[in-house]
């Protein structure tokens, strides 16, 4: 066990099992104390490496993350404190691994419920190798104005209130982390504050004892008096009694053992900590308080009188000239986190993303204001979901059914079209699903599947301006623009695309108006008079019919329809549909275990 000071203003720690809040609290304490370097040198997250962004005052810093204790100790040889936030299941193993590192002097174990046999092994190893274990079941410890462990002393407001940003003259040790916060406040009210405070933890076998730390405090010149808060159960306080009787402590000790109320109960009472259970008269709070009083400690008559005797002891030391009260200093202001400042109404900050189609902040996600449960309970289909997310409104059933038909008809068009071919070649190269899918999607454009928007745009412009099919087609020809939605490599006037026929049949049956489709058919009649392959293709059919859907539903203004066509909604329908087929081709090639594709020589014209 160390015989003097554990921490200083240059102490750095390794933090095991990343927790944002306690690390940020440590860094905020560093800034409050005016430290030049952060007290957390590195983070250990088993299986993970990289960096974690945190704040050191107003500056954002990146703290290295290591996957093993050994790697962290090698990377940060000056970090000699190991703060262990592992669960009780793994706390012992990770703590022992840390103790075996030559660079580690102090290990703080936060977890409760660490098996007692494991704790005994840790204690034995630490004592043999002159190392310190704080805990298990501890909140940690603090050296005022220098270094703190994890969540010790709570919030920054509490730390400032307890004057922990600068050192005082009192050494404090307790079993309870919660009561430590209370005592830091009490001590700050009636003295110049603490110099160092330790919560040894409430388990039956603490890694270091009350007397271990009192003896340490006795060797620290800046500590002028000690305050000890024990509790019923166990016999730890008696080691302090022996130290006092043997004259090993020559500074005033003010002590109280809580749990005097246990005698009011007829049966044995288990208090909050595992060790807080009176197993006999000697383990009672009354017996311990009496023994400490007889050994020379200043022991009040009750906890309520604890503050008064601390004050009395401190003032006596001041009168004797043994303590020169610390001068007060004003700590720097810790920058407030943006989220808390916004919540408290202190600042307003602009958002970076606007979303009008969905909201996931409530109990369940909503699509355009419709809760997910309603979508399921009311039997919405894929077309309904598209209408909500794309058009921000519920469309009539014939509209959503048309959308679903388009998706079904455009899902695939065989393995020979460019998109499917690219996907197949990529899948056979051993690439993953997303890579194979994207390879196929990247072929979609003016020549493959991407003409729906252009077809809708040109058909709408021509119809709205009252152009005859002749004027429209010939005008496009003069501009050197092919009519989008007209023409097919395979289909002919006497061999129409079945998909086009199905879409037209549905629309004529269900749509209130098909004026744009009929105009497209008139254009097709004119183009077929020029060449037998200039048929209305599926892009042209979907483009013209979507104009009828938007105009005929009465749910969209002319400006909205123009915007939908301009943005690329209709091509989005083809992208969505064809993704289904491209994914299918990827799975098909993987399932068939097809080898790397190489194009045959005989299918290439080699020429100079």
Active site residues: 273
396 secondary structure, DSSP code: P
How far is the C-alpha of 142 from the C-alpha of 50, rounded, in Å? 28
Q: Is 539 within 8 Å of 485 (Cβ atoms)?
A: yes
Contacts of 516 (CB under 8 A, 6+ apart): 456, 459, 460, 463, 544, 545, 547, 548, 551
CA-nearest of 408, 384, 409, 407 to 397 is: 384
How far is the C-alpha of 225 from the C-alpha of 171, rounded, in Å? 6
CA-nearest of 327, 388, 210, 315 to 197 is: 210
Q: Is 211 exposed, middle or buried (0-12, 13-18, 19+ CB in 10 A)?
A: buried
How far is the C-alpha of 2 from the C-alpha of 9, rounded, in Å? 18
Chain-centroid distance, C-alpha 343: 19
How far is the C-alpha of 289 from the C-alpha of 232, rounded, in Å? 10
Query: 166-180 in b/e burial notation, b at 16+ Cβ within 10 A?
Result: bbbbbbbbbbbbebb
Tokens of 296: 């020379």
Q: Is 157 within 8 Å of 127 (Cβ atoms)?
A: no
How far is the C-alpha of 307 from the C-alpha of 364, rounded, in Å? 52
């Amino acid at each position: 066990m160390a015989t003097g000071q554990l921490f200083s203003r240059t102490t750095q720690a390794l933090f095991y099992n990343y927790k944002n809040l306690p690390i940020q609290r440590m860094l905020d304490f560093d800034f409050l104390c005016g430290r030049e370097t952060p007290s957390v040198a590195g983070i250990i997250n088993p299986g993970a490496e990289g960096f974690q962004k945190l704040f050191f005052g107003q500056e954002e810093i990146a703290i290295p993350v290591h996957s093993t204790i050994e790697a962290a100790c090698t990377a940060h040889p000056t970090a000699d404190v190991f703060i262990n936030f592992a669960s009780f299941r793994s706390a012992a193993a990770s703590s022992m691994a840390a103790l075996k590192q030559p660079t580690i002097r102090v290990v703080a174990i936060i977890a409760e419920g660490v098996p007692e046999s494991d704790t005994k092994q840790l204690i034995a190893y630490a004592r043999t190798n002159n190392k310190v274990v704080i805990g298990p079941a501890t909140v940690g410890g603090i050296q005022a104005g220098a270094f703190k462990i994890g969540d010790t002393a709570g919030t920054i407001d509490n730390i400032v209130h307890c004057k922990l940003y600068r050192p005082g003259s009192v050494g404090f040790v307790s079993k309870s982390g919660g009561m430590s916060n209370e005592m830091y406040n009490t001590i700050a009210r009636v003295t110049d504050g603490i110099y160092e405070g330790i919560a040894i933890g409430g388990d039956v076998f603490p890694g270091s004892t009350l007397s271990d730390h009192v003896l340490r405090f006795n060797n620290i010149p800046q500590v002028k008096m000690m305050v000890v808060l024990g509790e019923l159960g166990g016999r730890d306080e008696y080691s302090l009694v022996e130290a006092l009787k043997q004259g090993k402590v020559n500074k005033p000790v003010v002590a109280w053992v809580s749990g005097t109320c246990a005698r009011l109960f007829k049966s044995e009472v288990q208090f909050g900590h595992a060790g807080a259970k009176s197993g006999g008269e000697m383990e009672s709070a009354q017996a311990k308080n009496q023994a400490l009083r007889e050994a020379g400690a200043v022991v009040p008559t009750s906890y309520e009188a604890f503050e008064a005797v601390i004050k009395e002891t401190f003032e006596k030391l001041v009168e004797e000239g043994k303590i020169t009260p610390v001068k007060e200093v004003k700590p720097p202001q810790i920058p407030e986190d943006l989220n808390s400042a916004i919540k408290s109404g202190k600042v307003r900050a602009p958002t970076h993303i606007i979303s009008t189609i969905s909201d996931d902040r409530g109990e369940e996600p909503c699509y355009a204001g419709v809760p997910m449960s309603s979508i399921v309970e009311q039997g919405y289909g894929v077309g309904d979901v598209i209408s909500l997310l794309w058009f921000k409104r519920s469309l009539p059933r014939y509209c959503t059914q048309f959308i679903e038909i388009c998706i079904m008809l455009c899902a695939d068009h065989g393995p020979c079209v460019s998109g499917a071919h690219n996907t197949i070649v990529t899948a056979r190269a051993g690439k993953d699903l997303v890579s194979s899918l994207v390879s196929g999607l990247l072929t979609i454009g003016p020549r493959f599947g991407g003409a729906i928007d252009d077809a809708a745009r040109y058909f709408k412009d021509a119809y709205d301006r009252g152009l005859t099919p002749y004027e429209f087609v010939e005008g496009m020809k003069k501009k050197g623009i092919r009519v989008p939605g007209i023409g097919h490599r395979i289909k002919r006037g006497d061999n129409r695309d079945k998909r086009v026929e199905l879409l037209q049949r549905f629309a004529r049956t269900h749509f209130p108006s098909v004026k744009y489709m009929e105009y497209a058919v008139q254009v097709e009649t004119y183009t077929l008079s020029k060449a037998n392959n200039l048929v209305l293709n599926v892009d042209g059919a979907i483009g013209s019919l979507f104009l009828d859907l938007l105009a005929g539903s009465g749910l969209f203004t002319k400006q909205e329809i123009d915007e939908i066509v301009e943005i690329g909604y209709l091509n989005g329908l083809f992208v969505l549909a064809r993704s289904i087929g491209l994914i299918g081709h990827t799975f098909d090639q993987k399932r068939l275990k097809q080898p790397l594709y190489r194009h045959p020589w005989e299918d290439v014209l080699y020429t100079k």
